[in-house]
Amino acid sequence: MPTISELRESLQREKIEGRERPWGYVWLQRGPSIYLTWLIAKTHLQPNTITGASILAGVIGMLLLSSGRWGIMLLGIFFFYLNLILDRVDGELARYRQTFSLKGIYGDEINHLIIPALFFAGLTCGIAELSASFPTHILVGLGGITASAMILIRVTHNIPYQIYLKKYIKYEVLRPLPTGIPLPTEDLRSQYAVIYPVVRAVHQFQDFLIILFVFAASLIAERLWSISYFLFPITSWMLLGYAVFLSLIVLENFWKGMRSIETRMQELEKTERG
């Protein structure tokens, strides 16, 4: 059995080097995930089983968050963090055993699509009846907006790639894609290089790990400094902020997709003709 260091080199290096990753990705996700991978690799568990366990952890987290009880809600956030760790483990285990499948990719995509939305659904259920900051129907609406926005962010990010491949495949023949075609948003980074670091810093707060830490911090802050922490004043306003912020990210993704997809199609067709 390889050591932890050897597993990091063989299973994680390609996921880290040469890529822009969110804050905490290396230390708080890939850091602990490799130890679980090392343990699970000694068993007969398959990557798809770990994917299922990851989704289950997210569902349990949603149920705990919806309790409205401070300590149980924090435990719910931990289960969502466990979801993230297991999401890394299933891929590492698949690479270790060289057992890749489209079912695994499908399950992984479902995980990414629904679990962040379930987080906001559970959070909203937990604070809606108790919050003194907003009426219940307002909070429910904010929860619906944030949950929907998390789904739409994923969908609007993936749609350009799906159109790109669908156009190339032409519904019938699967052929190797040509090399040298830029990804849909690479040109945007070069065109807006001056403000890109600021934009990237702002975008960190849409990452699910950062969202978990933000709301865990808000719950802890209420416990320490708010005399009415059980009414969730800080968390309610944080939910409002995220409803606005995530909605703007959806609009940005829509704009980037509309701006880039036609250009990418034209480059693809030129390459194909050439």
Could you tell me the domains of the chain? 4-273 (1.20.120.1760)
Q: For position 184, what pLDDT does the model report?
A: 47
Q: For position 161, what pLDDT does the model report?
A: 75
The length of the chain in residues reads 274
Neighbours of 110 (CB within 10 A): 12
Q: How far apart are CA 37 and CA 261, in angstroms?
A: 38
Percent pLDDT > 90 in the chain is: 60
Least confident of 44-53, 94-103, 219-228, 239-248: 219-228
Model confidence band, residue 130 (pLDDT cutoffs 50, 70, 90): confident
- Give the SS3 label for residue 177: coil
230 or 179, which is more confident: 230
Residues whose CB falls within 8 Å of the CB of residue 70, separated by 6 or more in sequence, listed in order: 219, 222, 223, 229, 230
pLDDT per position as a tens digit, 225-258: 876 667 889 999 999 999 999 999 999 989 888 8
Contacts of 198-202 with C-beta under 8 Å, sequence gap 24+, read 200/20
Q: Provide mean pLDDT across the span 46-59.
A: 97
40 or 271, which is more confident: 40
3-state helix, strand, coil in the chain (%, to 5): 80, 0, 20
Q: How far apart are CA 107 and CA 200, in angstroms?
A: 28
Q: For position 139, what pLDDT does the model report?
A: 95
Q: pTM for the whole thing?
A: 0.88
- Quick check: 155 pLDDT over 90? yes
User: Which H or E element spans position 198?
Assistant: helix 196-203
Percent pLDDT > 70 in the chain is: 83
Least confident of 50-64, 87-101, 221-235: 221-235
Model confidence band, residue 170 (pLDDT cutoffs 50, 70, 90): low
Q: Could you tell me if 149 and 249 are in contact, meaning their C-beta atoms sit under 8 angstroms apart?
A: yes
Mean pLDDT, the chain, whole residue set: 86
Q: Could you tell me if 61 and 247 are in contact, meaning their C-beta atoms sit under 8 angstroms apart?
A: no
Q: Among the ranges 47-56, 153-162, 166-175, 182-191, which has the highest mean pLDDT value?
A: 47-56
31 or 167, which is more confident: 31
Q: Could you tell me if 238 and 214 are in contact, meaning their C-beta atoms sit under 8 angstroms apart?
A: yes
Model confidence band, residue 38 (pLDDT cutoffs 50, 70, 90): very high
Q: For position 207, what pLDDT does the model report?
A: 96
Q: Could you tell me if 258 and 155 are in contact, meaning their C-beta atoms sit under 8 angstroms apart?
A: no
- Quick check: 216 pLDDT over 90? yes
